[in-house]
A and B are shown apart, each in its own frame.
Chain A
Amino acid sequence: MSELGENWIWLVGLAATGALALLWDARRSTAGPRGRDAWPLVLVTGSAAAVIVIAIGVWFVVIDLIGAAILAFALGFGTLLILIRRLRRDASSGRGGRQAAAVGKTIVDASLLAGLLIVINAFAFTYGGRVWDLTQEGAFTLSAVSRQTIRALDRPTRFTLLFGEGRLAPRQRERVSQLLELYRAESPSRVTVRSINPYAEPAELERLIRAYPDLAVATSGVLVEYGEGDQTRHAVVRVTEIFPEEAGRFAGSANERFLMPFTGENALTSALTRLREGRRILAAVLTGHGEPSILAEDPNAPGLGLLAGRLRAAGLDVVEHDLNRAELPTETEIVMLVAPRSRLQPTESSRLEGFLKARGKALILSGPESRDAVAELLSQFNLEMAKDVIIDPVSNLQGRPGMILAFVTGRHPHPIVDPLFRVPMVLPRAAALTIKPPASLARTRRLPVAILDSMPDSWSESEPNASRVRFDPPNDLKGPFLVGVAVNETERENPERLEDPATAPINPGPRSKSANQAETRPMSTPRLVVFSSGLAGDNTTLQAHPVNADFLLDAVSWLRGNTDQLGISPATHETRALALPPEVRSRLVFLPTLLAILAIITAGLTVGWSRRDHAMHD
């Protein structure tokens, strides 16, 4: 808390000793005939010392050592009052010149006033400070939820901004800093904020990643640490949760409006709430259909142990669950269905459907072997899976055509894959996914969007187990194929004209001040992510290609993006450019300038002439 540690005791003692020495010297040195000569020096020194002691008291107020502050104030003001009393005695006895007396009294009185003003300002700056927000967009206003959450913090909370040196990083950092400054103002004693440049401070980043492994997948964002030492809980809020549109967008007929949606308050306050409540997200991996186990942790053997470990490091609780035996726990937010070998029983289907209808989320990793097991579930989300295995002789892992590489090319921008641009996902024994035709998506609420394709050299192999695999049209179809899909669910049925669900805004909530809002669009919630390979999350795959875990973590983050969000509406900052022709711009600058200069010159000349006339008449 205090950089001084226990040294404040020594500092106060030193100040007290100095003040007492000055006073003793004042009494001694002014007692005799030569005392009057020393008195001005004593006066000035005493006043200065008193003000310094008061300033030290202010420092104690700032670092929350009120007891020491009171002691320092008592010393400082006491010294000044003693000097004032002595001055009055001198004045009444006629000692010293009038000028000297006046100067002395001025110095001491001014020191007293300065001390009082310093104390008032110190308390105001330390304990006061409700800022008035004059802006239309409410840029300096926190929602009531955020204010309550921050004031209720009972442990030190540190926000660490992690923004590098990219094109957008400085502006992102500035915007997030502006928000966190408001958080800090609500609770200066609990909230601290710092900023790290991951490129300039790699050692510090390394230290943080060792402490919080899930930080490794965040390219930039905010690390929230709640508590201290072993009791610290943390959350990583990624930049995609803060800036849903990374670079904003232009609007208006001449693109004169620039809109920058900002969901930072929602993301950070939600993270704080989650940390305070100690809530963890439960991910249930379904079992009972021949799925790999999360308990199998051997990286060279089939299983989901490695994936489960990464998910736990990201703050999730990962458990296995047999839907045949019981309903899903109420705190389950995500269900994972990985390479089931047999169909779900009616009970299981019913329970899973109930979970999904109650706003649960699902991640499916399934290839052609599990096609029949997941067909019905996929059809509920307007998806179909082919039975053939995708082969790629060019883009594959370690020369194995069945382990295709699907690169993020930017063809399907989506929050899940955007952070992994140009990075491939390995999909062993993948199948092609198909989104139902647009006509049949009218009046549905579940809207799938493509997020990942296989590469153009791939094809769907009708005989994957043949001794020699080759492209045999017409049985084999040429790629690229859809291998990754994300499904949003909208609040109302999709109209005849198909909306783009990938860009639909996240549910807004009430704001305490009206703000510029993006255009009204149907609200959507992430519901399902499918990667058409049952081995995409397997131990052996993650061992060979660890970045697959990043894709899956991104998918989980996107799915759970809204579940623990508090519904604080996004703040959209709008700036406008001046779309005027150059000649109009020039007139806009020169006309008022010319008028003003003429007015000033005219006024000056008028005054000058009238003074001259006046002088002549005089």
Chain B
Amino acid sequence: MASSLARISTLFAREIGAFFLSPTAYFLLLAFQIIAWFNFAELIARLSRPQLSFSITTDPMTNYISSSVSFWIVLMMAVPVLTMRLVAEERRMGTWESLLTAPVTASEIILAKWLAAVVMFLVLQLPHFLYLPFLARFLPIDLGPPMGLMLGLVSASLMFSAIGVFFSTLSRSQVVAAVWTFLALFGFVLLPQLLYNIGSTKQASWLDAARRFAVLQQIHDLGTGRLDPRVPLFHGSVAVLFLFLSIRCARIRPFM
């Protein structure tokens, strides 16, 4: 077990190093920083107006980030970019087979790459939270909602990264992996939200089920300070399933 952890950490460090040594990381960070700047500017503008909120669910602070369309669009593009090269690139360059012959198991390789993707994803979220200490100097902030939001992003990152790693494992081409990852994220993030929005107008009986599985609603609810442990359970379950598939597919010839 200890040696397995050591191998995973070595592979993890290799992946993190490779990411931060490439210009992609800094372009992605810049993109997220610019989005964070716009979101924070909008938050300041909303906070500067007279507040008339009746409940915490409509407070500007609890809608920070989770209600930002640009954030979600960039996120859905960033995850495929982060994960597409993890396995597909190695297969294309021919280093994958030699990695598999090394004294590491497929599980350890996949877990290390997945963890690296999770960390990279979380680093990209830092710009949004960078502003909060500055804001706290002028406005008392209830830390509950931002904490809930962070937890939501962490658990969502586990799920998104696992999906990205899976499609990267299935494909030799980074682009194909990225496209399939994007489509899968679309299915998880936007489709349930679309169904929820349609159901809301009709007060449909399945509205509750749609809401529970709409990632946007889940993150929004967490961002209000309402921590439902079933949400991380759901994200974790999806992550476990896709990691299992990735590990199994690691030894199969890619067919995409």
With A113-B240, A600-B26: A133-B139 Cβ-Cβ less than 8 Å: no
Query: With an 8 A cutoff between CB atoms, is A211 at the interface?
Result: no
Determine which of B23, B26, B57, B140 lies in contact with A178 in the assembled complex, contact meaning CB atoms within 8 Å: B57
B228 touches A109 (CB 8 A): no
Query: With an 8 A cutoff between CB atoms, is A379 at the interface?
Result: no
User: How far, in angstroms, from A471 to B209 measured CA to CA in the complex?
Assistant: 71
Query: Which single residue of chain A is at the shortest CB-CB distance from B234?
Result: A121
Interface string of B222-249 (1 = CB under 8 A from A): 0011111110011001101100110011
Query: With an 8 A cutoff between CB atoms, is B67 at the interface?
Result: no
Given the complex, which residues of A lie within 8 Å of B237, measured CB to CB? 117, 120-121
Given the complex, which residues of A lie within 8 Å of B14, measured CB to CB? none
Query: With an 8 A cutoff between CB atoms, is B58 at the interface?
Result: yes
A174 touches B57 (CB 8 A): yes
User: How far, in angstroms, from A194 to B208 measured CA to CA in the complex?
Assistant: 12
A139 touches B55 (CB 8 A): yes
Interface string of A242-260 (1 = CB under 8 A from B): 0100001010000100101
Given the complex, which residues of B lie within 8 Å of A132, measured CB to CB? 226-229
A102 touches B248 (CB 8 A): yes
Chain A CB within 10 Å, residue with most, of B26, B49, B148: B26
Query: With an 8 A cutoff between CB atoms, is B199 at the interface?
Result: no
Q: Which of A127-157 contact B (CB under 8 A)?
A: 128-137, 139-140
Given the complex, which residues of A lie within 8 Å of B55, measured CB to CB? 139, 171, 174-175, 178, 260, 262, 573
With A260-B54, A611-B21: A128-B209 Cβ-Cβ less than 8 Å: no
Given the complex, which residues of B lie within 8 Å of A589, measured CB to CB? 37, 40-41, 44
B50 touches A577 (CB 8 A): yes
Query: With an 8 A cutoff between CB atoms, is A199 at the interface?
Result: no
Task: Tell me how many residue pairs across A and B have CB atoms closer than 8 Å.
Answer: 179
A592 touches B249 (CB 8 A): no
Given the complex, which residues of B lie within 8 Å of A607, measured CB to CB? 20-21, 26
Query: With an 8 A cutoff between CB atoms, is A608 at the interface?
Result: yes
Query: With an 8 A cutoff between CB atoms, is A203 at the interface?
Result: no
Query: With an 8 A cutoff between CB atoms, is A114 at the interface?
Result: yes
Interface string of A160-190 (1 = CB under 8 A from B): 0000000000011011001000000000000
Query: Which single residue of chain A is at the shortest CB-CB distance from B28?
Result: A600
A588 touches B134 (CB 8 A): yes
User: How far, in angstroms, from A578 to B50 measured CA to CA in the complex?
Assistant: 9
A578 touches B139 (CB 8 A): yes
Query: How big is the A interface, by class?
Result: 35 or more
Given the complex, which residues of B lie within 8 Å of A121, measured CB to CB? 230, 233-234, 237
Interface string of B45-70 (1 = CB under 8 A from A): 00111111111111100000000000
Given the complex, which residues of B lie within 8 Å of A174, measured CB to CB? 54-55, 57-58
A61 CB to nearest B CB, Å: 12
B130 touches A134 (CB 8 A): no
Given the complex, which residues of B lie within 8 Å of A248, measured CB to CB? 52, 54
Determine which of A129, A137, A576 lies in contact with B140 in the assembled complex, contact meaning CB atoms within 8 Å: A576
Query: With an 8 A cutoff between CB atoms, is A110 at the interface?
Result: yes
Chain B CB within 10 Å, residue with most, of A3, A109, A255, A604: A604
User: How far, in angstroms, from A28 to B29 measured CA to CA in the complex?
Assistant: 58
Query: With an 8 A cutoff between CB atoms, is A62 at the interface?
Result: yes
Query: Which single residue of chain B is at the shortest CB-CB distance from A3?
Result: B205
B8 CB to nearest A CB, Å: 21
Given the complex, which residues of A lie within 8 Å of B224, measured CB to CB? 135, 139-140
Given the complex, which residues of B lie within 8 Å of A172, measured CB to CB? 54
Query: With an 8 A cutoff between CB atoms, is B252 at the interface?
Result: yes
Query: Which single residue of chain A is at the shortest CB-CB distance from B140?
Result: A576
Determine which of A137, A139, A576, A597 lies in contact with B30 in the assembled complex, contact meaning CB atoms within 8 Å: A597
Query: Which single residue of chain B is at the shortest CB-CB distance from A188?
Result: B208
Query: With an 8 A cutoff between CB atoms, is A580 at the interface?
Result: yes
User: How far, in angstroms, from A120 to B238 measured CA to CA in the complex?
Assistant: 12
Interface string of A594-605 (1 = CB under 8 A from B): 001100110110
User: How far, in angstroms, from A178 to B249 measured CA to CA in the complex?
Assistant: 44
B240 CB to nearest A CB, Å: 7
Query: With an 8 A cutoff between CB atoms, is A421 at the interface?
Result: no
Query: Which single residue of chain B is at the shortest CB-CB distance from A134?
Result: B144
A578 touches B241 (CB 8 A): no
Determine which of A117, A255, A258, A262 lies in contact with B241 in the assembled complex, contact meaning CB atoms within 8 Å: A117
B230 touches A102 (CB 8 A): no
A600 touches B51 (CB 8 A): no
Interface string of A33-57 (1 = CB under 8 A from B): 0000000000000000000000000
Query: With an 8 A cutoff between CB atoms, is A466 at the interface?
Result: no
With A121-B234, A131-B228: A106-B245 Cβ-Cβ less than 8 Å: yes
A596 touches B142 (CB 8 A): no
A600 touches B29 (CB 8 A): yes
User: How far, in angstroms, from A178 to B56 measured CA to CA in the complex?
Assistant: 9
Q: Which of A326-342 contact B (CB under 8 A)?
A: none
A603 touches B26 (CB 8 A): yes
Q: Which of B138-158 contact A (CB under 8 A)?
A: 138-140, 142-145, 147-148
Given the complex, which residues of B lie within 8 Å of A102, measured CB to CB? 248, 251-252
With A137-B56, A248-B54: A588-B241 Cβ-Cβ less than 8 Å: no
B233 CB to nearest A CB, Å: 6
Query: With an 8 A cutoff between CB atoms, is B186 at the interface?
Result: no
With A592-B130, A593-B37: A576-B51 Cβ-Cβ less than 8 Å: yes
B81 CB to nearest A CB, Å: 16
Given the complex, which residues of A lie within 8 Å of B226, measured CB to CB? 131-135, 139-140
Query: With an 8 A cutoff between CB atoms, is B253 at the interface?
Result: yes
A175 touches B131 (CB 8 A): no
User: How far, in angstroms, from A105 to B47 measured CA to CA in the complex?
Assistant: 56
A596 touches B127 (CB 8 A): yes
Determine which of A114, A134, A578 lies in contact with B225 in the assembled complex, contact meaning CB atoms within 8 Å: A134
User: How far, in angstroms, from A175 to B56 measured CA to CA in the complex?
Assistant: 8
Query: With an 8 A cutoff between CB atoms, is A439 at the interface?
Result: no
Given the complex, which residues of A lie within 8 Å of B229, measured CB to CB? 128-130, 132
A103 touches B252 (CB 8 A): yes
Interface string of A106-123 (1 = CB under 8 A from B): 100110011001001100
User: How far, in angstroms, from A172 to B57 measured CA to CA in the complex?
Assistant: 12
Interface string of B105-149 (1 = CB under 8 A from A): 000000000000000000000010011001100111011110110
User: How far, in angstroms, from A102 to B230 measured CA to CA in the complex?
Assistant: 33
12 additional A-B pairs beyond A62-B209, A171-B52, A607-B20, beta carbons within 8 Å, are A99-B252, A106-B249, A134-B143, A135-B145, A139-B226, A258-B51, A577-B48, A578-B48, A589-B40, A589-B44, A591-B134, A604-B23
6 nearest CB pairs, A to B: A134-B144, A604-B26, A575-B51, A135-B225, A132-B227, A134-B225
| 30 A-B pairs (CB sep. < 8 Å) | A3-B205, A110-B241, A113-B244, A121-B234, A129-B228, A129-B229, A131-B226, A132-B228, A134-B144, A134-B148, A135-B56, A135-B144, A139-B56, A139-B225, A140-B224, A140-B225, A171-B53, A174-B57, A194-B203, A250-B50, A575-B53, A576-B51, A577-B51, A584-B138, A588-B138, A589-B40, A593-B40, A596-B127, A600-B33, A608-B23
